[in-house]
């Protein structure tokens, strides 16, 4: 359009993406004012619609400027520009939300909870500001979203803030398009908003008392954004031990909240990218390499060279940490294996045996959202637990999917729903072992479809017949566990081509009735073929092996035909125990077959005498990784034979090294390298140029980074996770991706839309 600048035109700009509740409309308003443009902007369920009218030059510049100067947390996914007839108005207006969806009929996006922004932080520490020391300060750039929203559209009346009436000052900010609190739904101040309480005290007194309790070594349950934390002095071994005892969590690492980045740097090594993740709006727990500092309790993460670190991410946390000035344990407020507490009453009941005191507040939490966990892997972020700050942002995948609801697995549960080319993956939900967790799981299967306005027609679950997540759901489509792992990796990486999938984890149900877990699958979208797998072995006592790697080690020795007497493993059993286990192996009694890579790691760790019994899954394998010496890379590997997936040479090499007096650390390096070469061997045979890595074993940084490097050296393209965990937390994404591509859109026996959004309402 090269007409003279004097001529006018009117454009319609339709935008989809994360553009609601983040100050997008005020930004559009200001931009229009700057350019002297008239028109309007309004939210639609699927995004934002803008109409602009003005001279050609300004209106042409407008879309570009929208993209370039977009506020920090907005994400413009698609922008559609079309011409409209002139309307002749002279002002620019922000209109109320339009109730129903736009032309696409797509679901809107609820934003994740956002960490406190710099402006709000400044206010809460400014004695002149009316929000000085106010723990619930927020604006359109920060504050709770997902944890308080009850339904769409995201308006105050549809959040847990609906019970708080804004004071005139807050209301004025809320109504002023030029204010950064324009339509900030959780907007609040000390006069009109939520309050904290500690016993009989409220406000600053409550904060002060909570601080003094933590200083005195007491364990304080603190209500936060997506649930309760247990706060305790991270410098005191005695306090941390007491917390572990009460929480019944003997060894599993505990996360630590630091007052600020400087204090993190005192205790941990920090790469630039790790700093960025810590300070991001998602503000997850980040696994960092520890320094040799003596001032933190050893019992935080026993024997672990890394520490889970997070920064304060809500004003309440900032205020508390500023007062404390030292690192505290910030672990989720629950008993081990139960869901996190979200209401005051629930916390009082369930945490009374753990916490000495409670710091409550009266802003209700609509749904539990745990802290997320991330680390840096091969130079980029890798999610280990995708929850607060990330969920429920959708993952965009290649191609349109059928509407399905995927239920995930029983461990580290998360669920997913599809909507067109988007998959909404729920927050992390923990294990489904306890009845409490199963209840919460059922609630969530209604919640996610409701909130995303997706309308699933079919339910997808793991093919394991005994999973709680699969039970009582008759008409479900099942997806094999490891197929789902690889599909999750492909989905989030936008891969549509055939790959070799390396799915290594602890346990997954195999269609042949054995336990899979060391799988090499050729995956082509919804299809897969088991190309190869780790050589199978028996698990004497089945499930007991998870807690007793010493049993797994016996299973490995038995398979390889190595007498236990030739090893030091016999010393890990009483004579009677040994007799029983050997009998069950010899007679194949209660000794299921498995190809599990996770168990192989465990068993090797037990064989080296590193750990015979564990208190959480993966503990032995993790300790094998933590042993790796600085110079691991130069220590070589055991020579494999030509039979793919065969670990016999590895176990024989280990025993030989042990007999020679080699250290467990050096042997660990060789085990890691040998397993990497074993993967390379299969990759060469499979001949697929792309190799996707998924499953819990790829949380092992050394293994993953070494495989990635070696695959590249040999000309392969490695594909691994980023936004979605390689562990079972990513399963639902893969299930949705697989089933979403295969299911015919209407099937007999499927709940109709008239019965509500969730086809499993009868669960």
- Where on the chain is the footprint of Zn ion (CB under 5 A)? 117, 120, 139, 141-142, 167, 170, 189, 191-192
Among Zn ion, Fe ion, none, residue 206 binds (CB under 5-8 Å by kind): none
Residue 505 contact among Fe ion, Zn ion, none, beta carbon within 5 to 8 Å by kind: Fe ion
| Residue 476 CB, nearest approach to Zn ion (Å) | 43
Shortest Å, Cβ 171 to Zn ion: 8
Closest approach of Cβ 410 to Fe ion, in Å? 10
- Which of 58/594 has CB closer to Fe ion? 594
Identity of the residue, 14 or 518, whose beta carbon is nearer to Fe ion in the bound complex: 518
Strands 47-55 and 196-198, by their bridges, are unpaired
Name which of 23 and 729 has its Cβ closer to Zn ion.
23
At closest approach, how far in Å is the CB of 190 from Zn ion? 7
By beta-carbon proximity to Zn ion, the closer residue of 279 and 421 is 279
Secondary structure (3-state) at 589 = coil
Binding mask of the shown chain, residues 476 to 515, with x at each position contacting Fe ion by CB under 5 A? -----------------------------x----------
Beta carbon nearer to Zn ion, 172 or 570: 172
CA 23 vs. chain centroid, Å, equals 26
Which residue, 153 or 696, is less far from Fe ion as judged by CB? Answer: 696
Name the minimum Å distance from CB 748 to Zn ion. 51
From the list Zn ion, Fe ion, none, partner contacted by residue 189 (C-beta under 5 to 8 A by kind): Zn ion
Strands 717-719 and 690-694: parallel
Shortest gap between Cβ of 189 and Zn ion (angstroms)?
3
Residue 191 touches which of Fe ion, Zn ion, none (Cβ within 5-8 Å per kind):
Zn ion
- β-bridge partners, 256: 309, 329
Please state, in angstroms and as integers, the Cα–Cα distance from residue 477 to each residue in 266, 407, 412, 466, following that order. Answer: 51, 10, 20, 15
Q: Give the residue, chosen from 257, 728, 729, 758, that forms a contact with Fe ion under the rule CB under 5 A.
A: 728
Structural contact between residues 190 and 32, judged by C-beta atoms closer than 8 angstroms: no
Token pair 């009109």: residue: 192
Q: What would the DSSP string read from start to end of 311-371?
A: ---SHHHHHHHHHH-S-EEEEESSSTTSPPP-SHHHHHHHSTTT-SEEEEESS--SS--PP
Stretch that binds Fe ion, among 189-197, 470-478, 592-600, 725-733 (CB under 5 A): 725-733
Window of 267-275, 366-374, 537-545, 721-729 that interacts with Fe ion by CB under 5 A = 721-729
CB of 138 to Zn ion, least distance (A): 6
Task: From 185, 14, 183, 12, select the one nearest 105 (Cα to Cα).
Answer: 14
Pick what 415 binds: Fe ion, Zn ion, none; C-beta below 5 to 8 Å, kind-dependent: none
Q: Select the binding partner of residue 728 from Zn ion, Fe ion, none (C-beta < 5 to 8 A, by kind).
A: Fe ion
Here the tokens at position 108 are 């809107």
Cα separation of 694 and 699, whole Å? 9
Give the residues across from 152 on adjacent strands: none
- Alpha carbons 380 and 277: distance in angstroms, whole number: 10
Q: Which stretch binds Fe ion (CB under 5 A): 245-253, 271-279, 307-315, 727-735?
A: 727-735
CB of 461 to Fe ion, least distance (A): 14
Tell me the backbone φ, ψ of residue 58, rounded to 5 degrees. Answer: -65, -45
Copy the structure tokens of residue 423.
């998959």
| Burial tier of 517 (Cβ tally within 10 Å: 0-12, 13-18, 19+) | buried
Each residue 618-657 as x (binds Fe ion by CB under 5 A) or -, in order, gives: ----------------------------------------
Residue 29 or 164 having the CB closest to Zn ion: 164
Length of the chain: 763
Distance in Å, CB of 19 to Zn ion, minimum: 17
Instruction: Give every CB contact of residue 667 below 8 A, 6+ residues apart in sequence.
Output: 608, 654, 657, 658
Residue 268 in contact with residue 289, Cβ under 8 Å? yes
Binding site for Fe ion (CB under 5 A): 505, 728
């Amino acid at each position: 359009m090269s007409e003279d600048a004097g001529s006018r035109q009117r454009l319609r700009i339709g935008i989809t993406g994360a553009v609601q509740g983040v100050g997008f409309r005020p930004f559009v308003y200001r931009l229009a004012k700057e350019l002297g443009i008239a028109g309007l902007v309004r939210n639609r369920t699927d995004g934002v619609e803008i109409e602009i009218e003005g001279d050609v030059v300004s209106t042409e510049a407008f879309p570009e400027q929208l993209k370039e100067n977009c506020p920090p947390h907005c994400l413009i996914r698609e922008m559609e520009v079309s011409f409209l007839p002139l309307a002749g108005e002279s002002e620019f207006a922000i209109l109320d939300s339009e109730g129903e969806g736009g032309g696409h009929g797509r679901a809107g996006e609820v934003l994740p909870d956002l960490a406190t922004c710099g402006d709000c932080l400044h206010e809460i520490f400014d004695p002149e500001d009316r929000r000085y020391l106010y723990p619930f300060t927020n604006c359109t750039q920060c504050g709770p979203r997902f944890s308080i929203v009850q339904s769409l559209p995201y308006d105050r009346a549809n959040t847990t803030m609906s019970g708080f009436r804004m004071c005139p000052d807050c209301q004025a900010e809320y109504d002023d398009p030029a204010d950064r609190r324009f339509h900030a739904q959780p907007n609040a101040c000390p006069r009109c908003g939520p309050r904290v309480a500690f016993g009989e005290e409220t406000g600053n007194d409550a904060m002060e008392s909570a601080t003094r309790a933590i200083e005195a070594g007491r364990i304080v349950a603190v209500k936060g954004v997506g649930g309760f934390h247990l706060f305790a002095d991270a410098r005191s071994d005695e306090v941390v031990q007491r917390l572990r005892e009460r929480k019944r969590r003997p060894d599993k690492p505990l996360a630590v909240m630091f007052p600020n980045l400087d204090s993190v740097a005192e205790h941990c090594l920090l790469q630039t990218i790790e700093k960025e993740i810590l300070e991001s709006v998602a503000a997850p727990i980040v696994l960092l390499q520890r320094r040799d500092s003596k001032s933190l309790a050893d019992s935080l993460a026993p024997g672990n060279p890394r520490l889970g670190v997070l920064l304060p991410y809500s004003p309440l946390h900032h205020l508390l940490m500023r007062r404390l000035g030292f690192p505290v344990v910030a672990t989720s407020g629950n008993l081990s294996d139960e869901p996190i507490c979200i209401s005051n009453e629930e916390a009082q009941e369930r945490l009374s045996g753990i916490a000495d005191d409670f710091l409550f507040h009266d802003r209700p939490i609509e749904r539990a959202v745990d802290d997320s966990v991330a680390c840096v892997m091969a130079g980029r972020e890798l999610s280990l637990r995708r929850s607060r700050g990330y969920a429920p942002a959708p993952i965009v995948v290649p191609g349109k999917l059928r509407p399905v609801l995927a239920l995930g697995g029983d461990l580290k549960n998360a669920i997913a729903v599809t909507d067109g080319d988007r998959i909404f993956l729920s927050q992390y939900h923990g294990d489904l072992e306890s009845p409490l967790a199963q209840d919460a799981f059922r609630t969530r299967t209604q919640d996610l479809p409701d909130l995303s306005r997706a309308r699933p027609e079919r339910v997808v679950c793991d093919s394991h017949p005994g999973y709680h997540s699969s039970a009582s759901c008759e008409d479900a489509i099942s997806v094999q566990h490891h197929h789902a792992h690889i599909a999750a990796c492909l989905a989030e990486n936008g891969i549509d081509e055939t790959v070799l999938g390396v799915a290594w984890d602890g346990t997954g149900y195999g269609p042949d009735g054995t336990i899979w877990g060391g799988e090499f699958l050729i995956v082509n979208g919804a299809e897969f073929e088991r190309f190869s797998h780790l050589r199978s072995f028996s698990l004497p006592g089945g499930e007991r092996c998870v807690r007793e790697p010493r049993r797994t080690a016996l299973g490995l020795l038995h398979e390889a035909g190595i007498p236990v007497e030739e090893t030091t493993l016999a010393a890990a059993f009483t004579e009677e125990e040994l007799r029983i286990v050997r009998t069950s192996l010899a007679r194949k009694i209660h000794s299921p077959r498995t190809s599990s890579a996770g168990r192989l790691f465990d068993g090797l760790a037990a064989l080296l005498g590193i750990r015979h019994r564990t208190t959480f899954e993966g503990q032995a394998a993790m300790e094998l990784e933590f042993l790796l010496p600085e110079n691991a890379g130069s220590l070589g590997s055991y020579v494999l034979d030509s039979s793919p997936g065969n670990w016999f040479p590895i176990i024989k090499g280990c025993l030989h090294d042990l007999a020679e007096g080699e250290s467990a650390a050096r042997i660990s390096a060789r085990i890691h390298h040998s397993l990497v070469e074993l993967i390379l061997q299969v990759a060469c045979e499979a001949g697929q140029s792309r190799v996707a890595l998924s499953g819990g074993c790829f949380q092992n940084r050394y293994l993953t980074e070494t495989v990635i490097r070696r695959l590249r050296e040999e000309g392969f393209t490695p594909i691994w996770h980023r936004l979605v965990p390689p562990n079972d937390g990513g399963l639902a994404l893969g299930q949705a991706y697989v089933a979403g591509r295969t299911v015919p859109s209407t099937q007999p026996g499927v709940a109709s839309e008239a019965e509500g959004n969730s086809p499993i309402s009868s669960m």
